[in-house]
Chain A
Amino acid sequence: MSSRAPNIESASGERVRVLLCNPGLDGHDRGVKVVARGLRDAGMEVVYLPLRSTIEDVVSVAVQEDVDVVGISNLSATLVATCRRIKEMLAALGADDVLIVCGGTVLADDRRELARLGIHGVFGPGSKRDDIVHYIRGHVPHDRRTRPAGE
């Protein structure tokens, strides 16, 4: 399919790393697992966290794993609060360059709230894998992998 070009890109070492998580008390993980597989098939490295992780876990793992993207799945209407907290905590650790994307059942009001937080990659039921991949590739800073580590 459309995965040829990404493979060649990934061969040069610039592989996108994504943390997928489902924090809080939500127990629905089928969707996020499908997304995990889709991103893997698109040549990305996917770190997957267990259900019922805390927001503190998510942020700590995102930083240690140095991911480019945190993907948050939620089907229990707590997405906005979760995203706001993760965004704040990442910023506090100097990791405000991490892209946040969301999936799950997202209410229209929540979409507007998320947009206000600067989170525009919101993928509800029926989203296509290629759309998610395309969004991530288009929004991860291209030089992030190759920039020197620094302090």
Chain B
Amino acid sequence: MATTDRSLGRWISALEGGSREAAAQLDDAWRTAGRAHVIGVSGPPGAGKSVLVGRLVGRYLADGRAVGVLAVDPTSPLSGGAILADRLRMTVPRTAGRVFVRSLASRGSLGGLARVVPSAVRALECAGFDPVLIETVGVGQNEVDVATAADTVVLVQGPAGGDDIQGLKGGLLEVGDVLVANKCDLDGIDQTVAMLQEVARARRREGWQPPVVRVSARDGIGIDALQEAIEGHRRWARDSGHHADSARRRARAEILALAAQRLAETLAGNALDARVADGELTMTAALERLLERASPRQSNDGRKQAAGS
């Protein structure tokens, strides 16, 4: 179990690298770990997610809570590298209490998060952090992985033209439990608030109507109201039984993420893709072989090849 920042930092790296030993440590620690409130923060690029997360961290620290943060930034599709700059905008008072911030690169995941996020959330829970905040990459319409990874989803929108907002309506806004109109001092924010309220009203029948909160993350305005809205959603989820649903959703997301990682590693360790490209194997046959090789009983050869490459 990770008791220092150093060991927790190493643990998350090992999980990210697909270490089975680290995964076994997580299985072990998870049995006795407390459960955290997992808060996802998502929205388009430049909406103010990082600044807002910094504010929320400060707010929860002031309540005496130990706060974990996972901040995801995009991996360059060309080089595989990434600039992880979320913490550049998160002014977290280092002396205010226990806070652990980890930046993660999306590494090819297209849903707005990184594959390791569900496991890293649990590692933070095992280390005693509650709440755990997840900041997604700046998203467009369809990056809704945050909905499966978090108990409460906060969607952040700035003042924007109709086109951006229309684009969001169909997908992402449907998964928001709390809707934030950020940069509330700027022109055009009333339009954003009206749109968010319309979205919220349309969701009344689900039993939870997402509150719309006006915030200026930069100036620290509306942060208390935002925290109250987040906590309100948590109470509702607990009282209505929705919390059990979100635990199951999180488990499902993590199983699928781990499976995808295992399959990618197995594929990297042999030439199935080349054989499909050469026309030697059909796609269906390649899939069957990949699944066979990824399963524990027969995975030894594939593993050794992958490790030796």
A residues with a Cβ closer than 8 A to B are 3, 6-7, 10-15, 17, 36-37, 39-50, 56-57, 60-61, 63-66, 93-95, 145-151
Contacts and interface: CB of A to CB of B under 8 A. Distances in A.
Interface in B5-40: 5-14, 16-19, 21-22, 25
26 contacts: A6-B79, A10-B81, A11-B268, A12-B306, A40-B83, A41-B76, A41-B79, A41-B81, A45-B81, A46-B81, A47-B84, A47-B87, A50-B88, A56-B94, A60-B5, A63-B5, A64-B101, A64-B102, A93-B6, A94-B4, A145-B13, A148-B19, A148-B22, A150-B7, A150-B10, A151-B2
Nearest to A151: B7
B45 interface: no
Given A11-B268, A47-B103, A63-B9, A149 B83 contact: no
Interface of B: 1-14, 16-19, 21-22, 25, 75-76, 78-85, 87-88, 94, 100-103, 105, 107, 265, 268, 306, 309
A66 B12 contact: yes
B288 to A, nearest CB: 24
A60 B88 contact: no
A50 B88 CA distance: 5
Nearest to A11: B80
A57 to B, nearest CB: 6
B88 A149 contact: no
Contact of A37 (B18, B80, B83): B83
> At the interface, is chain B mostly helix, strand, loop or mixed?
mixed
A95 B18 contact: no
A93 B82 CA distance: 26
Contacts of A150: 7, 10
Contacts of B80: 6-7, 10-11, 15, 43
